[in-house]
Structure 1
Amino acid sequence: MTAVTVLGLGEAGRLYALGLAESGADVRGYDPFTDARSTGIRQFDSPAEALAGTELAISLVGAGAAGSVAEQVLPLLGPGAVFADFNTSGPDSKAGLAEVAARHGVPFVDVAVMAPVPRAGSRTPLLVSGPAADRFAALMESLGAPVQTVPGPAGAAAGRKLLRSVFMKGLAGLVLESSAAGQAAGAEEWLLAEIAGELGPEGPALVARLIEGSHTHAVRRAHEVEDSLAYLGTLGTPAWMTEGTLRWLSALAADS
């Protein structure tokens, strides 16, 4: 069995740990702030125990903690183990993590999770880049995860995810603004139905998901849009729509 360690057992980490175990992996978990044993995850009290003999370490600790966790666990990985950063952040942050991994002689992969994990768990589509992209893809595909590799160093996958976020989070911002205007005009239901119709057969479900998801995950999505804005700045392209999206998500986050 492929030995996998999941670092961070929040919602996404738990879903990955359980899904990979169901697919045949030997999964261990570590999280000093969350006890997930009641879900059936084999959780350890120290990173050294959780990482002993692992072939793949998956970091799902959040972008803010990604650097400090990497510094803590990379020296604990055995020869040939791959370190995969699943956290959403900008290309520069991923490149920095890759440099830290290289100093410890650990193969690194930049992983961009391309859809909400609750929808498909460990079978959520992944976009990957970096020195260990091909090895990671082989490991995860053997466990049923769809993986697409992209050329380039660590950070290339993260950049593509942020480009996609410009559209997807921008679409959510546009739907939120339309909903507010429709409500003020007494025509919200009609307007949302019009929007859904333009989006095709899955339009009604998509509109509902954009509105509900923006409210539920406003804080996390606002951080993602901030990363998108920073990336657009490095590209030197206009970010007028993305700036508006950030205002919407920041306002929702402030109310949550």
Structure 2
Amino acid sequence: MTGTIAVLGLGEAGSALARDLVAAGAVVRGYDPAVAAAKGVVATGSEAEAAEGADLVLSVNSSAAAVGALEAGLAGLKTGAAWADLNTASPGTKRKLADIAAGHGVPFTDIAIMAPVPGRGLRVPMLATGVAAETVATTLNSFGAAVEVMAGDAGLAAERKLLRSVFFKGMSAAVVEALTAARAAGCEDWLRKIIVDELTSANAATVDRLVDGSVKHAVRRTSEMAAATEMLRELDVRADVASAARDQLAHIADTQDCQQS
């Protein structure tokens, strides 16, 4: 399979994708103001230069740079070339990018990278939405990628990824905070085993129990997490998650009071 693909952003993810595309036979034009292009990638001096002659542009830099990269790259795009934004940005930012692209007649897709890229490279699971999702997925999958298409507008893929992130990153934060506190209290191994046992035995009923329990026992759990927050401070450990849980439970309890009054 042949084709020319521009990769904007040659950090950890961008470099891995570019490397695998080159290995699969694509001509890859890369640009990153801070990172040198790897062997096999055609180095360029700007977004517009990277986009010149490309059939597809992959923007893999950062949410903050996504709009600027698109606006800078438009000058180099040939007619019919598609733009795919792979940055972890909000759905609103993805919709803004789609609007900018549509205003210039550029087919656009929002692609969410759904797992860590290191170790997977181009085969990392990806989800695509937007007007160019099908076309871009077909192109990337022909080089060995794993892009799934979901019907709908740009922003929906980002929404799915970030909803997942609320859970996974929130859970990670809770585990880190709890183990840090347990270490300070001298019982890290004990708590680590509890966490492992809970995660390995989780099922659909676990999710229902977590949600229903928070609602049913909001008042009692608010006091419990207030005590936990105080304990962490006594241990000289940041109580970011514990205090957030306390505040969320208090809000649930207040909402219930308002509904009953």
Which band: TM-score by shorter chain?
0.7 to 0.9
After the TM superposition, list the runs of 4 or more consecutive aligned residues in structure 1 that deviate by more than 4 angstroms: 240-243
One-letter identity of the residue aligned with 1:180: T
Secondary structure of the 2:49 match is helix
Seen in structure 2, the aligned counterparts of structure 1 residues 242 and 51 have a Cα distance that, compared at 3 Å, is: farther
Quote the offset at 1:50 in angstroms.
Answer: 2.2
Seen in structure 2, the aligned counterparts of structure 1 residues 242 and 80 have a Cα distance that, compared at 3 Å, is: farther
Aligned to 2:22: 21
Aligned to 2:185: 185
Quote the offset at 1:2 in angstroms.
Answer: 1.8
What is the TM-score with the length of structure 1 in the denominator? 0.75
The residue correspondences of 1:151-170 to structure 2 (distance < 5 A) are 151-170=151-170
Structure 2 residues without counterparts, runs of 5 or longer: 202-239, 246-261
| CA RMSD, 1 decimal | 2.2
Q: Is the 8 A contact 1:173 1:244 kept in 2?
A: no
One-letter identity of the residue aligned with 2:84: A
Q: Is the 8 A contact 1:128 1:149 kept in 2?
A: yes
Aligned to 2:32: 31
Aligned to 1:111: 111
Secondary structure of the 1:118 match is coil
Aligned to 1:101: 101
One-letter identity of the residue aligned with 1:194: I
Secondary structure of the 2:120 match is helix
CA distance in 1, matches of 2:143, 2:105: 25
Q: Is the 8 A contact 1:4 1:27 kept in 2?
A: yes
Seen in structure 2, the aligned counterparts of structure 1 residues 123 and 181 have a Cα distance that, compared at 3 Å, is: same
Q: Is the 8 A contact 1:20 1:143 kept in 2?
A: yes
Seen in structure 2, the aligned counterparts of structure 1 residues 242 and 50 have a Cα distance that, compared at 3 Å, is: farther
Secondary structure of the 1:144 match is coil
CA distance in 2, matches of 1:242, 1:48: 47
Q: Which has the larger radius of gyration?
A: 2
Structure 1 residues without counterparts, runs of 5 or longer: 202-239, 246-256
Q: How many residues align?
A: 206
Q: Is the 8 A contact 2:48 2:75 kept in 1?
A: no
Aligned to 1:226: none
Residues 8-60 of structure 1: CA distance to partner in whole angstroms, max 9, x if unpaired?
111111111101111221111012222234x4432122334322221110001
CA distance in 2, matches of 1:138, 1:112: 16
Q: Is the 8 A contact 2:84 2:111 kept in 1?
A: yes
Seen in structure 2, the aligned counterparts of structure 1 residues 83 and 242 have a Cα distance that, compared at 3 Å, is: farther
Quote the offset at 1:243 in angstroms.
Answer: 8.8
CA distance in 2, matches of 1:93, 1:243: 30
CA distance in 1, matches of 2:75, 2:53: 13
Aligned to 2:11: 10
- What is the aligned-residue identity percentage? 46
CA distance in 2, matches of 1:104, 1:190: 59
Secondary structure of the 1:163 match is helix
Aligned to 2:65: 65
CA distance in 1, matches of 2:56, 2:243: 37
CA distance in 1, matches of 2:159, 2:65: 20
CA distance in 2, matches of 1:242, 1:78: 52
Q: Is the 8 A contact 1:75 1:104 kept in 2?
A: no
**Does residue 173 in structure 1 map to residue 170 in structure 2?**
no
Aligned to 1:142: 142
One-letter identity of the residue aligned with 1:42: V
CA distance in 2, matches of 1:119, 1:199: 24
Aligned to 1:254: none
Q: For CA contacts below 8 A with separation 6 or more, give which structure has more relative contact order.
A: 1
The residue correspondences of 1:228-243 to structure 2 (distance < 5 A) are none
What is the TM-score with the length of structure 2 in the denominator? 0.73
Secondary structure of the 2:13 match is helix
Quote the offset at 1:186 in angstroms.
Answer: 1.1
Quote the offset at 1:193 in angstroms.
Answer: 3.0
